A = this chain, B = another copy of it.
Amino acid sequence: MKPIAAILGVGCTKVGEHWERSLLDLAIEACEKALEDAGNPPVRALYVGNAASELMNEQGNISALLADALALDGVKAVEVRAGDASGSLAIHQACLDASFSRGQEGAILVCGVEKMTDVMAPEVARIQMLFEDSRSTFHSGVTIYGLCALLTSLYMSTYGVSYEDIVLLAVNDHKNAANNPYAQYPFPITVETVLSSPLVADPIRLFDTAGIGDGAAAIVLKGPEGARSSSDTPVAVLASEVATDKVNICEREDLLALRSLRLAAGKALGRAGVGLDRLSFIELHNTTSVIGILSLEALGLAEPGKGVDLLKEGAVAIGGRWPVNTMGGLKGRGHPWGATGVYQVVEAVWQLRGEAGKNQVDGAEIGLTSNMCGLGSISCVHVLARWEVMA
């Protein structure tokens, strides 16, 4: 195990409907928290992950604006864009930078941010579909939840699984979110809550979907050398990998395979030198529950069609074999697109530092985060570890 980067500090805003605050307000709060958490090191580069600020906030070039707002005088600033995988890809690029510039002074700040409530919900749905293929899917009028509904129905009919069992993942998310002060929906729900909520796209119900929320999350990282002298509790990035799949899901050989995630996770675990048995917890990208379940299968934690068994057996609960979405996931914590991939890493760092409060996974040593664009056109996987694990 050889780290590619060390995380020195993390911070985030509460996910929610921040009507009175701007995208930059949120980003600044998250960045200042992360910098303070890291002991306010000098910063030499800023990476920003965001999906749609020009469309939702009438503002582009937010990496330069944020650098300016944080008084990071003259610093390198780069924005990375990959729909709702923008945050994790920004971290990926920051890891490359940290590794490239080994020995160079200064830390790297990464911020994922999305301010979604500046536009109406139908416009959010329209913008989300711009990350699918406009030549086909976009102009058909189907929404992301429409596509998720097709996959949910296909999953149910292919494997003989009930919708009641699928939404156990949403129930798991909300249970964990209840103890996360930064979660958008910090309250428990039951399967009945989901089934009695409004129908969004048959069979998907409102409480099976990630909501619309504003939020920002940030991390401070640097190359692995001297990490222990920069921080009492550095967290190691053991691997960061990105892979793609066909954007049009109808062109995929197996619609239920999430191939980009399988590829990225395989590479990441290989590079980290750890097997699935070493993972203490997993942060998944569950736009709806079925995507989370397909993710469990793509990771190799369950055979195709058997992902729901992990839910039914309680394996994904805190205290179970592979705790999933320990701070609430996309459903419970909320899903501010470009920020989500950074929230996942922030929450993983809390777990690995033993700061996850009531949701602490006992003896958490190694965690995996999985963030994707749309329905897996791009996947980004990080493997993180307590520094001591590498000894």
Contacts and interface: CB of A to CB of B under 8 A. Distances in A.
A244 interface: yes
Contacts of A374: 61
Contact of A82 (B79, B92, B134): B79
Interface string A230-258: 00000000000111111100000000000
A74 B131 contact: no
Interface stretch (A12-20, A93-101, A274-282, A360-368): A93-101
Copies of this chain in its oligomeric complex: 2
A78 interface: yes
Interface in A366-384: 373-374, 377-378
Contact of A79 (B60, B63, B80): B80
A76 interface: yes
Nearest to A50: B81
B82 A78 contact: yes
Contacts of A93: 78, 80, 93, 96
A111 interface: no
A162 interface: no
A244 to B, nearest CB: 5
B54 A83 contact: no
Given A130-B59, A243-B74, A373 B100 contact: no
A127 interface: yes
Report the 6 A-B pairs with minimum CB-CB distance, sorted nearest first: A64-B377, A60-B130, A61-B131, A76-B242, A96-B96, A59-B134
26 contacts: A52-B60, A54-B55, A55-B55, A60-B131, A61-B131, A61-B132, A61-B377, A63-B244, A63-B378, A64-B247, A64-B373, A64-B377, A67-B244, A68-B247, A68-B377, A74-B243, A74-B259, A75-B243, A75-B244, A76-B241, A78-B89, A79-B80, A80-B80, A80-B81, A93-B96, A96-B99
